[in-house]
Structures are given as structure tokens and as C-alpha cells.
Amino acid sequence: MKTNLKFTAMIAFMFASVVGLAKEPKLGLMTEGPSKSLIVELDSKNNKTLLKRIENTKPVFRKKGAMLFLNLLNLDGKDVQIKVYDSDNRTLFSEVIENESIVTKAFNFETAIEDHYTVVVKDSKNTYYESIVVN
């Protein structure tokens, strides 16, 4: 008797979940990787199914010793702002790169004072941070 009751309750719960999800017109899937994120949306309205793919590239930071290399694919060609801050939040470097589809920059921290530095990259949509510690 208990088994039948548990089984019936489980079936009722699954049915309620399926019915609740069936009314949702949008379904989204998002993955994130180290260099880009991919968002896929499936939208079904008025018996039409739309598949929308949004790809957002992220900058790639590579550390080699006291060097920090930055690569960013800027497909929209809008301005990219790069700033370097120290641990006291003082701006040590600031640059705006205009109309470049590929942004590359190398930062040399070999002669820098021992501190914790933050590199901030801001494109038209997002802001990205990378930290480097100089000992």
C-alpha cells in the first residue's frame, strides 16, 4: 500500500513539473569557458521556433614570469579601455584603444615595486579583471 502511494505521489509530482515547464515559452542554455561564453536560447511563440545564439568573447590573460599578456577579440570594433591599478587603487596606466578588432597588450612588471596589481579591461558590454602579484 505504501509503495503504491509513493509511486502515485511521484507520478503526480513529475506530471505537475512537466505541465509547469510546458507553459514556459523560452528555454536557455549557457556555457562558460575561459575565453568565451555561449548562450543558446530556444523561443517558441505563436507556433514558431526561434533559435538564437549569442557568443561573448572574453579577454585572454597569460602570465609568464613578471609579464602579463592580454589578447581580446573585439568584433564590434568599439572602444576598449585598459587600466592598471595598484593595491591602493591608484591608476598607474590608462589607455583607450579605438577601432581595433584585435586588442593585444603586454605589461612588464619586472621593475615594478612589490605590490598587488589589478588590470581592468572594459569593452562596450563587460568589464574584466586580472590580478598579478609582484614579489
Distance (Å, rounded) from C-alpha 53 to C-alpha 49?
13
Contact 121, 70 (CB under 8 A): yes
Q: What are phi and psi of 130, to 5 degrees?
A: -140, 135
Shared-domain flag, residues 104 and 62: yes
Domain membership of residue 70 as a residue range: 58-134
In the chain, how many domains are there? Answer: 2
- What is the per-residue pLDDT across 9-20, written as a single tens digit (0 to 9) for each? 777 777 666 656
**Which position has the higher pLDDT, 51 or 77?**
77
pLDDT tens digits along 43-71: 666 666 666 666 677 899 999 988 999 99
Grade residue 41 by pLDDT with cuts at 50, 70 and 90.
Answer: low
Q: Do residue 74 and residue 103 come from a single domain?
A: yes
Report whether pLDDT(35) > 90: no
Q: Please, which pLDDT band fits residue 91 given cuts at 50, 70 and 90?
A: very high
pLDDT score, position 20: 60
Helix %, strand %, coil % of the chain (to 5): 15, 55, 30
User: How high does pLDDT run on average in the chain?
Assistant: 81
84 in the same domain as 38: no
124 shares a domain with 62: yes
**Residue 16 vs residue 72, higher pLDDT:** 72
**Cell digits for 130?**
586580472
102 within domain boundaries = yes
Residue holding cell 530556444? 42
- Same domain as 81, residue 32: no
Is residue 71, in this structure, part of any structural domain at all?
A: yes
Residue 75's contacts (CB-CB under 8 Å, 6 or more residues apart) are 57, 101
